[in-house]
Amino acid sequence: MNRFFIPLVALILYTSAKAQDSELPKQYFDKDWTPLTGSEGATYYRTLEKKESLTVVRDYYISGKIETVSEQKFNGKKMVRDGKTV
């Protein structure tokens, strides 16, 4: 039973993690980081994921390749980097 159960659980966890990532709303930007209303003309896109008191901001090239990952906090007026940035 274990030889079937462990791969099944691993597959379910992997699928769930990928599904959550693809469900994050995207904000699109042009080459100068000007926000756009849709993906047309976009060079970059951004996803935001709330984690405890921080927000994980992931910036991607429109191809899907990661550009930057940073942890940020909202200080009441704007987002401020507060943690790791890669």
Q: Is residue 5 part of a domain?
A: no
Q: Is residue 9 part of a domain?
A: no
pLDDT at residue 47, rounded to an integer = 93
Q: Is residue 41 part of a domain?
A: yes
Q: Is the pLDDT of residue 60 over 60?
A: yes
Residue 74 sits in which domain range? 25-85
* Residue pLDDT, tens place only, 11-43: 565 555 554 555 788 999 999 999 999 999 999
Q: Is residue 15 part of a domain?
A: no
Number of separate domains in the chain: 1
Q: Is residue 53 part of a domain?
A: yes
Q: Is residue 74 part of a domain?
A: yes
**DSSP state letters, 10-68:** HHHHHHHHHHHHHHS--EEE-TT--EESSSTT-SEEEEEEEETTEEEEEEEETTS-EEE
pLDDT at residue 86, rounded to an integer = 53
pLDDT at residue 83, rounded to an integer = 60
Q: Is residue 12 part of a domain?
A: no
* Residue pLDDT, tens place only, 39-55: 999 999 999 988 888 88
